[in-house]
Structure 1
Amino acid sequence: MRVVKLGIISVVVLFVIATAIGLLMPSIVRVSRTTSIEASTDTVFNMMNDIKYWKLWMANADTATITFDGIKTKGPGTVAYIGSNKVSIYPNEKPTTIVTRWQGVKSNSDQYSYMELYHDSANTSTVVNWYFEQQLSWYPWERLGSMMNDKILGPLMEQSLDALKRKLERTGGSEATTPSVN
């Protein structure tokens, strides 16, 4: 009986310690990547705002099945399923920012993605700032697990932005209006 009591007390104390450490961590986690693309802002925006083009540049979307909830493929109100994720494009006040919500079908974690585009004065190159933001609950496993977000999402975002850059700079953006999506 004494061993069981000690075991229960140990589990409770460890849970309280893990919760206290977790509460010291931020409740919002952001993973961000930025690149510069030698293409006009409109060209980059069209490629990023239309989910059907994501197969051409986004990591994991190139091999996943993309199905649309309706006929709309771009802009606010678009809903698509990419593999096991539900992706919705939300309206935004900034005309060169794309906001998407990623919902895991198998989990309750929601993440918001922001793709901000900035152009130079001649509109010959575009800086893309892409970041994912996740609001965390107080649960210690969520807070402690969020430390891996940058290691998991970061390389995929870098790979995606590099593919987008290669695609648009190689074609001069001409394929952004009529892609060959298979």
Structure 2
Amino acid sequence: MKFLKNLFIVIVVLAVVLVVVGFFLPKTSHVERSIVIEASQDTVFQEVNSFENYNNWSPWFKLDPDAEYTFSGPDSGVGATMAWDSEKAQVGVGSQEIVESTYPNFVKAKLLFGEDPNPGYISYTIEELGPRQSKLTWAFDADFGNNIVGRYFGMFMDGMLGPKYEEGLQALKEDIES
């Protein structure tokens, strides 16, 4: 009986420590990757300002090509929306909607997953390096607020998303340059 009592105390103390530490973790998470593409700033902007060709280079589409996709709103720019529904956990259910589009160098989209009402935001920043060369930076930002589990999750965001962003950027580069 004494063992169970001590085990219970250890579990309670551990839970309290995890919660307290969680409040000291960063509320936000930022991930970004960049690539240089041999194409004009306009060409790169047109590609990321629409979901029309998104699945040609999306690393998540490769995880489940059978996912159902629906598109709504305008073909490009603010209001363009793509939603998906996949039975595979790595893809899940969600949507993205372009919420900001500043020609020729910036696109921002709101990203929702499943039932989570807290959005993440992705952004594409296009920097012209020359007449036919552009640097594209793909970023993800999340604000976890007081969500302790989210803050712990945020510590691993770069390791989870970074390689996928690198894969997607490489595929986009190949798609645009071909």
TM class by shorter-chain length? Answer: 0.7 to 0.9
**Residues 93, 43 of structure 1: alpha-carbon distance in 2 compared, 3 angstrom cutoff:** closer
Q: Which moved more, 1:137-146 or 1:1-10?
A: 1-10
Is 1:41 aligned with 2:35?
no
Is 1:18 aligned with 2:18?
yes
State how far apart, in whole Å, the 1-side matches of 2:115 and 2:10 are: 32
State how far apart, in whole Å, the 2-side matches of 1:93 and 1:9 are: 56
> What residue number does 2:133 align with?
125
State how far apart, in whole Å, the 2-side matches of 1:163 and 1:149 are: 21
Unaligned runs of 5+ in 1: 171-182
String of CA shifts for 1:109-139, please: whole Å, max 9, x gaps.
421001000002x321000011100101333
> What residue number does 1:77 align with?
79
How big is the shift at 1:68? 1.4
State how far apart, in whole Å, the 2-side matches of 1:94 and 1:5 are: 64
> What residue number does 1:115 align with?
124
Name segments (4+ residues, structure 1) moved above 3 Å: 1-12, 92-95, 106-109
> Could you say which structure has the higher strand fraction?
2
Is 1:156 aligned with 2:140?
no
Is 1:134 aligned with 2:142?
yes
Unaligned runs of 5+ in 2: 86-92
Paired residue type of 1:130: W
Look up the SS of the partner of 2:34 in the other structure: strand
RMSD: 2.2
CA contact (8 A) 1:98 1:116 kept: yes
CA contact (8 A) 2:36 2:136 kept: yes
String of CA shifts for 1:10-29, please: whole Å, max 9, x gaps.
34322221122222221110
Count of matched residue pairs = 168
Superposition TM-score, scaled by structure 2 size: 0.83
Superposition TM-score, scaled by structure 1 size: 0.81
